Amino acid sequence: MSRTRGSWAPDASTLEKANAVMKAAADSGDLYRNGLGMIASENIVSPMVQKIVASDLHGRYAEGLPGKRYYQGCDDFDTIESIGIDLAKSVFNAPFANIQSTSGTVSNIGALKALAKPGDKITAVSTADGGHISHARMGAVGLRDLNLSTYPWNEERMEPDVDGACALIREIEPKVALIGQSVFLFPTPLREIADAAHEVGAKVMYDGAHVLGLIAGGVFQDPLREGADVMTGSSHKTFPGPQGGFLLSSSEDPVFQKRLNNAIFPGVCSSYHLHHVAGKVIALAEFEEYGAAYAEDIVANAKHFAASLAAEGFDVLAESRGYTGSHQVLTRHGSKDSGAGTKAARLLEDAGIITNMNMLPGDTKAMTPSGLRLGVQELTRVGMGLREMEEVAKLYARVLIQGEDPTMVKKDVNALKADHQTIRYCFNEDEQTGYPF
C-alpha cells in the first residue's frame, strides 16, 4: 500500500533539526521569562497580538490598498487594514498613515524612494554619533545611492549641533534632511533644522523608530507638528506591537500621499505580512486606550533608573540634562574602544540581564565599544516601577562594580522577574503572561 505524500513518517534526522529549533525557541523564551530584557530596540506583545499573529493571515497576500487589491479573498483583510489606517491617523495625529511596512528600515527605504533620486544629497546623524545604520552608506542611504553628509554633533547634549546642522543644510542644499537616531536620549531641536531644510527646498524626514510610542504617548516631541514632512518608525520598540513599521506624514496633498503609498507597495513590499499588519492594528487599538500611561511610565522609569545607576557609581551619560528623556540610558564602562561595553554585556547576560554593547561618542570600533545602551520599555510593560528600577540598578552594581559572581546574582534576577510576568497596558483582563512559549 502506498503512503500518502506528506503524511506523518519523517526521517529521524530531519525531525531532530525541527525539534532543535523548537527547543532553541523555548530556551530563548525561558531566558526572557526569567531574566530582565533591557535591549532598547525590543519589546513584548500582548496576548491578543500574539493570537492574531499566529492566525491564518500569516500565509495570505493582499497587495494594494483596501478596496484596490490584486487578489481575491481580501475583503476581511480590507476591514482590518482600514481600521488600522484610521487608528494610526488618530494615534499619531497624522493626515496620512501607511501601516504595511515590514520594518522600520523598510519604512526608511520606502520614504527615501519617495523623497529622493539616486545621486541626490542627504544629511543625517553619523552612526558614530548614534545614527542608525539605515541612515548610512552601509544601509538604506547607500542602497538608494544618496550623497550623504553628516551633522556636527554636540556630545554634551547628545544631539545634533543645531547651528552647525542648519549651516550644513544651507550650504549643501540636500534633497532630504533626515533626523533621528538609534541612540536617542532626548528630543531633537527639530523646528530650527526643519526651517533651514524648508528654506532650501528639502523635505524633512524624521526616523522615530525607537521613540514612536513616546511620541504617540505625548511625552517626547511631536515631529509632524515641528516641521517633519514624513515620519517613519518601528512597531515593536516603545510602540509595543509586532515586528513591522509605519510611514506617516503631515501632508494633506493626495498626490504626495499616493507617492508615499506607492513607495511601500510596489516600491519595497510585495506581500507585507498580513499577520503582522493585523497585530499592529490590535496594538494601535490597545495604544489608543493605554498608550499615554505606558509612555509616561517608560520615561519616568528611565529617568529613575539612570539616576539610580549613577548613585551606584556608574558613569551615566548626559548627567547635565538629567540623563535621559526617552526609554534609553547610556553607560560608559571604560576607555574609548576598550571593549569594556562588550565585557559588561557578557557579564550581565551571565546574570540573566540582557543588554547590548553600544558605541558611544569617541568609539570607532563597533565590536569593542566602551558603552551599553539600556532600555526600560519591556520592564515597564510587565509592571515594574520606580522601586524596581532601584533594585535593577543594584543588580548591575553587584555584577559590574562589586564583582560578584553573576550566577549568584542571577538567582535574585530570577526572583525579581518571577513577580513581574503579567503583560500590562493592553487588553488583558485575564492577566496572561507576556512569555507564553
Region 26-46: mean pLDDT is 96
Going by pLDDT thresholds of 50, 70 and 90, the confidence category of residue 319 is very high
Same domain, 238 and 297: no
Q: Decide if 352 contacts 414 (C-beta within 8 A).
A: yes
Please indicate, yes or no, if residue 430 is contained in any of the structural domains. no
> What is the C-alpha to C-alpha distance for residues 429 and 209, in angstroms, rounded to an integer?
29
272-305 pLDDT per residue, tens: 999 999 999 999 999 999 999 999 999 999 999 9
What percentage of the chain reaches a pLDDT higher than 70? 99
The answer to whether residue 425 is domain-embedded is no
Show Cβ contacts of residue 2 under 8 Å, excluding neighbours closer than 6 positions.
none
Same domain, 268 and 410: no
Whether 78 maps to a domain, the answer reads yes
Q: Which pTM does this prediction carry?
A: 0.96
Phi, psi of 90, deg, nearest 5: -70, -50
Tens digits of per-residue pLDDT, 141-197? 999 999 999 999 999 999 999 999 999 999 999 999 999 999 999 999 999 999 999
On whether residue 32 sits in a domain, the answer given is no
Would you place residue 352 in the very low, low, confident or very high pLDDT band (cuts 50, 70, 90)? very high
Q: What is the pLDDT of residue 9?
A: 78
Give mean pLDDT, residues 86-105. Answer: 98
The mean pLDDT value for 219-223 works out to: 98
243 lies in the same domain as 376:
no
Domain encompassing residue 256: 50-286
Confidence class of residue 5 from pLDDT cuts 50, 70 and 90?
Answer: confident
228 and 308 inside one domain: no
Asked if the structure places residue 333 within a domain, the reply is: yes
| One domain for residues 325 and 260 | no
Confidence of residue 1 (pLDDT cuts 50, 70, 90): very low
Q: Mean of the pLDDT values across residues 326-343?
A: 97
Report how far residue 255's alpha carbon sits from residue 113's, in angstroms, rounded to the nearest whole number.
15
What's the pLDDT at 3? 63
Please tell me the distance from the alpha carbon of residue 188 to that of residue 77, in angstroms, as a whole number: 37
- Domain-terminating residue out of 253, 286, 319: 286
Lookup: cell for 388: 524596581
What pLDDT does residue 192 have? 97
37 in a domain, yes or no?
A: no
Residue with cell 515641528: 226
8 against 364, higher pLDDT? 364
pLDDT of residue 293: 98
Q: Which of 343-347, 375-379, 432-436 has the lowest mean pLDDT?
A: 432-436
Cα–Cα dist 410/94, whole Å: 44
Among 286, 302, 321, give the residue marking a domain's end.
286
What is the CATH number for 159?
3.40.640.10
Query: What CATH number is attached to the domain comprising 400?
Result: 3.90.1150.10
Q: In the structure grid, which three cell numbers stand for residue 173, read together?
A: 542644499
Residue 196 belongs to some domain of the structure:
yes
Sequence-ordered strand ranges (E) for 310-379 = 315-316, 328-332, 353-354, 356-358, 371-375
- What pLDDT, on the 0 to 100 scale, is given for residue 437? 59
Q: 67 and 187 share a domain?
A: yes
Q: Kindly state whether residues 280 and 297 are assigned to the same domain.
A: no
Share the mean pLDDT of the chain: 96
In the chain, what percentage of residues exceed pLDDT 90?
A: 94
Predicted local confidence at residue 415, as pLDDT = 98
pLDDT tens per residue, range 256-276: 999 999 999 999 999 899 999
Question: Does residue 178 share a domain with residue 231?
Answer: yes
Among 286, 317, 334, the domain-final residue is: 286
Count of domains for the chain:
2
Q: Is 359 inside any structural domain?
A: yes
Tell me, yes or no, whether 271 and 321 share the same domain.
Answer: no
Do the beta carbons of residue 64 and residue 58 sit within 8 Å? no
Q: Write out the DSSP string of 31-60.
A: HHHHSEE-BTT-----HHHHHHHTSGGGG-
Q: Are 254 and 387 in the same domain? A: no
162 neighbors 192 (Cβ within 8 angstroms): yes
Q: Are 424 and 381 in contact (CB under 8 A)?
A: yes
Let me know whether 254 and 161 are in one domain.
Answer: yes
Q: What is residue 8's predicted lDDT score, i.e. its pLDDT?
A: 76
CA distances from 232 to 108, 192, 259, 370 (A): 6, 20, 15, 29
Average pLDDT over residues 18-34: 95
pLDDT at 122 over 90: yes
* C-alpha span between 381 and 301 (Å, rounded): 11
Q: Is the pLDDT of residue 2 over 60?
A: no
Does residue 296 share a domain with residue 270?
Answer: no
Distance CA 395, CA 400 (A): 9
